[in-house]
Chains A and B, each alone.
Chain A
Amino acid sequence: MRYLALFCSILMAPLFAGRAEAVEFLFSGYGTVSYSVSDRPYAYQRFIDDHGTILSDTILGMQLDTRFNNHFSATLQGRVAPAIDPEEHWDPKISWAFLSWKPTDNWLLRAGKMRVPLYLNAENKDVGVTFDVVRLPGEIYGLAPTSDFVGASINKTWSVNDDDWILDAYWGRGDTDIRVYLRDGVPGTLAAGEHYSPLEIEMRGMVLTYHRKRNDTYRVGFHLATPRAIHGNTWSYDLALVSPLPGVSYYTDTAPGIQTYDQITMPIFSLGTSINLFDDYTLSAEYFHSQVQEVGGITHDGGYVTLQKRIDKWTPYVTFAGLHSGSRLIDRYRMLSESSVPNLVPGAALINASQRALADSAAAFDQTSWTTGITYAFSPISKVKGEWTNVRTGNVHGFVDAPSGGSALNQNLNILTFSYSFAF
């Protein structure tokens, strides 16, 4: 909030300095109203199940751009979307609040609250009219450690003929909540359902983009995320095998000698491209790799390929996406899920529930998806879209909230979504 107050005072400074006539205020806004329904009773990406929901993609945002002169400007963007906190229905949030200084054509410096430039559509991911798919693939866009940071960025452009090479470097801090969905909970300790752990994250990175005049984009990024758990939470990746009785054993992550971390380091590598092919075909693809530096085998690899074709006002498209975690995460999930002790062991119910809760708390993914959809553009700022997605889960639940007492491994989910996006 203190950032917002500082930002507003800077924004209004020219008014009080008597130079208001030179300042331009430009209001704009965007929104998406959507409805999604799946053929499964359990939730996918938190909201989508067979009851249907408007919450998965619905969003409303406003933006104020203040142009002091050609070189200085300020941008403030607020948005309302479904809340992460289950006790709140809607979450109003300042998503951007930054000052820009463009001293020359080739330099752009920004400071304040900004988007982490992890993906092709990281900055505009909330603005549905700026892309033709209904939902940007969760196999990539669901992996960001945090979407926003407060800090600074430097952008240098080299123009070669009509093409641009752009280097972005940024550094800052953000915060977020890790969501964990427990199928069954742990009696007397943790309730079944959603749980959130707050994190503070330091983000830094560099992105090199090659932008051709005919609107082809190629980008490569190296990022370093340093999440730090707060409120006494820690990460642990090792498991100990405990044998309370001969021939009976179970896993735990709280035994002596197991290393815990209140901060980890995650190098992230990202690739992306959007290429205009022949006959109004466009190919977009992105790849994302992250790992935990302190521990081997804790990795995530995600990617997608989208082919779309513009036919007058219509844009049909097809997307294939995949997301897989490293073997250590998958194995951990499998060991914990498959392990149980017989009821004759004292505290068996608690032990078994704890193992399942540990399995559910692993941020592990193993899924692929096919999506086909179509967009109709009334204008560049008014689009109606529809798509069908088939998700196949593998050896872990990933984005699925597994049902109580069961699992959602090796499942097929079909999701239908309709949306209307606008901007003004």
Chain B
Amino acid sequence: MNKILITSLLSLSFWFPPSSSDAESVVVIGHPGLPKLDVTTIQKLYTGRSIEINGKSVTVVNVVPNNKTRKIFLEKFLAQDEEKYLAYWTVRRFIGKGTPPKELGSNEDVIAFVQSHADAIGYISADESRLPAGLNVLNEM
């Protein structure tokens, strides 16, 4: 009986897919010329506390809410979930300290935006291994 139970549990665990957060990585990308960034700097950029890198103005972009890549990015780089991030920007907006980063529809839109804006920073799924030439990987988790 115990053997059957253990076998069943093993087979169940075999079939449970790992959570998306564990399985996937996110790449923070930027226009060529932008340097590698540490997590603290990325946190400051995506929470509006910073707008520049080494004295040069930068523009960060998000993917729209409920996007899987965004969810993983928030978890890994900002240690937040969608609700906390929304709550943070709701307060920040209504104390007059700014608005959240521009939101784009997909990873492809992020790539296109970063390619076309010299000051742009975004993130895409690491699965998008077809990273076009001309983009710089600033961090990966």
Contact = CB atoms under 8 A, between A and B. Distances in A.
Contact of B83 (A96, A115, A380): A380
A162 B99 contact: no
Interface in A98-127: 98, 100, 102, 104-105, 108, 110, 114-115, 123-124, 127
Interface string A34-58: 0000000000000000000000000
A130 B57 contact: no
Interface stretch (B13-21, B28-36, B87-95): B87-95
Interface in B86-112: 86-87, 90-91, 93-99, 102
A105 B96 contact: no
Given A123-B96, A127-B94, A105 B49 contact: yes
A73 B51 CA distance: 13
A146 interface: no
Contact of B94 (A70, A73, A123, A159): A123
A164 interface: yes
B49 A130 contact: no
B93 A28 contact: yes
B51 A105 contact: yes
B94 A379 contact: no
A162 B58 CA distance: 20
Contact of A380 (B87, B98, B102): B87
A67 B99 contact: yes
Given A130-B90, A380-B86, A26 B50 contact: no
B31 to A, nearest CB: 14
Contacts of B87: 380-381
Contacts of B119: 70
B40 interface: yes
Contact of A75 (B58, B84, B96): B96
B139 interface: no
Contacts of A157: 49
Contacts of A96: 96
A115 B96 contact: yes
Interface in B55-91: 55, 57-59, 83-84, 86-87, 90-91
B54 to A, nearest CB: 11
A37 to B, nearest CB: 28
A26 B95 contact: no
Contact of A164 (B49, B55, B84, B96): B49
B90 A381 contact: yes
B52 interface: yes
Given A100-B98, A380-B83, 7 more contacts: A30-B94, A69-B57, A75-B96, A102-B51, A123-B94, A130-B95, A380-B86
List 8 A-B pairs, minimum CB-CB distance, nearest first: A380-B87, A123-B95, A127-B94, A124-B94, A65-B99, A70-B51, A130-B91, A70-B57
Interface of B: 40, 44, 49-52, 55, 57-59, 83-84, 86-87, 90-91, 93-99, 102, 119
22 contacts: A24-B102, A28-B93, A30-B94, A65-B93, A65-B99, A70-B51, A70-B57, A70-B58, A71-B51, A73-B99, A105-B49, A110-B96, A115-B96, A123-B96, A129-B90, A130-B90, A130-B91, A159-B49, A379-B83, A380-B90, A381-B90, A423-B94
Interface of A: 24, 26, 28, 30, 63, 65, 67, 69-71, 73, 75, 96, 98, 100, 102, 104-105, 108, 110, 114-115, 123-124, 127, 129-130, 157, 159, 162, 164, 379-381, 423
